[in-house]
Structure 1
Amino acid sequence: MIVGRSGTTEPPAQRRGGTASGRPGAQSQGVLGFLREAAIVVVAALVISLVIKTFFAQAFYIPSESMEDTLKVDDRLIVNKLRPGPLDIQRGDVVVFVDPGGWLRPHYEEPTVVQQVLTWVGLLPADAGEHLIKRVIGLPGDEVACCDDQGRVTVNGAPLDEPYIKPGAVPSEKTFDETVPAEHLWVMGDNRPRSQDSRYSQGAVGGGFVPIDNVVGTAWVRVWPLDRLGMIGRSGETFADVPDPGTREPAPDQETAGD
């Protein structure tokens, strides 16, 4: 202790005009500790985000009108990456897939390095630079055709009533009759006149069919804008009466083998 002129004593810290906890060394240790903890939190968040993006879910945004009115331009959505995988793809699912080759025109701007890194770890939604999003109409082995006498798409001979098609659009302005090969899908956009899909990609790699291995996942929930927040359904009732491939009933004027 220091004896002052008045005969009183002062603690050393007061004599220096501060407190013991306010020493520069203690302050720097506190700052370093905070920065270390913050770095741990950031790294952990990035690792968790990367794991989720790699195995479970991924964010995407919609750059075009090909899936209107189900999905609109600039919608943000979460894609379930467990399908395909433990959960199989079904008719009516809305799927995100990598361009099989020749479907997309190269008109997208190249993202910056920072954008690429943030997208890679899952903190930014992926753009459509190499991805497309469409609705599954035909599974492997299905016969998909258009159109019947009422202008409808048929799958294995069963006509589809498609409530998800954009109002005012017809099921297809282009006729087709195709059998989906093994391990592939036939896909179409909900805004049929504005969709570059299986119908218009038959001259591209794969003949318009999408390899199941190219599928990133199925659209799960729309998260932005908030007034459109909600689950993205697959409209399974549309395909409820579609028979399995090879079990199609012959038309009345057709004869079965052996008759």
Structure 2
Amino acid sequence: MGPPPERGALRTGIGWFGELTGIGPANTEYLVKRVVGLPGDTVECCDVSGQMTVNGAAVAEPYVFQDLAFNNGTTDCSTTARSPRCFGPILLGEDQYLLLGDHRSNSEDSVTACRSVGSAASCVKTAGRADIIGRVDGFLFPFNKWGSAHSLTSG
């Protein structure tokens, strides 16, 4: 992440209000991603039905919004025209957490650089436990996300 954006006094004041209340924008920039793999897990996408797997078990992901294309037999992980959804398998080491955005077709996450054929093994960008600072339980702003984080279908 680059240097923090320059902000005027009014925007900084609004940011302080946002940080104190959770209403409106804040001055601190956070990335909100879903933790899908823990240390010791093997994560891969995709199985033959297009689902992500963790330790060989398919994971239901009803929260994913606008996923990347996957068409079994034409655009999957074994076809010449490979699906951009495909990555892995990735074995996570000690203090490595795999993070994915819920809006997969428009998300910079742990496997963005791994979604092309012939990606280097070093393409995975994991987070350490110290980099994970919280949990999203709900939203007040923006208003189109108001409510519980568990009931979201977009974002």
With normalisation by structure 1, the TM-score equals 0.41
Aligned residue among 16, 23, 36 for 1:119: 16
**Offset at residue 137 of structure 1 (A):** 0.5
- 1:80-114 per-residue CA deviation (whole Å, 9 max, x = no partner) reads xxxxxxxxxxxxxxxxxxxxxxxx4x497322356
Which residue does 2:57 correspond to in 1? 158
- 1:111-168 per-residue CA deviation (whole Å, 9 max, x = no partner) reads 2356179539933643564x21111110111100111111211000001121111145
Name structure 1 gaps, 5 residues minimum. 1-103, 236-259
Q: Is residue 222 of structure 1 aligned with residue 139 of structure 2?
A: yes
**Offset at residue 179 of structure 1 (A):** 1.2
Q: Is residue 110 of structure 1 aligned with residue 12 of structure 2?
A: no
Aligned residue among 38, 46, 57 for 1:139: 38
Alignment of 1:24-43 (within 5 A): none
Which residue does 2:74 correspond to in 1? none
Aligned residue pairs, count:
129
RMSD, aligned CA: 3.5
Distance in 1 between residues matched to 2:134 and 2:40, nearest whole Å? 21
**Offset at residue 169 of structure 1 (A):** 3.9
Which residue does 1:182 correspond to in 2? 94
Change (3 A) 1:158 1:211: same
Distance in 2 between residues matched to 1:186 and 1:113, nearest whole Å? 37
Q: Which amino acid aligns with 1:231?
A: S
Distance in 2 between residues matched to 1:187 and 1:135, nearest whole Å? 5
**Offset at residue 181 of structure 1 (A):** 1.6
8 Å contact from structure 1 (residues 169, 191) kept in 2:
no
8 Å contact from structure 1 (residues 184, 211) kept in 2:
yes
More helix by share: 1
8 Å contact from structure 2 (residues 41, 54) kept in 1:
yes
Distance in 2 between residues matched to 1:211 and 1:199, nearest whole Å? 15
SS in 1 for 2:98: strand
Alignment of 1:1-259 (within 5 A): 104=1, 106=2, 109-112=5-8, 115=12, 119=16, 122-123=19-20, 125-126=25-26, 129=29, 131-167=30-66, 169-170=68-69, 173-200=85-112, 207-226=124-143, 228-233=145-150
Aligned sequence identity (%):
27
Name structure 2 gaps, 5 residues minimum. 71-83, 115-119
Q: Which amino acid aligns with 2:92?
A: V
With normalisation by structure 2, the TM-score equals 0.65
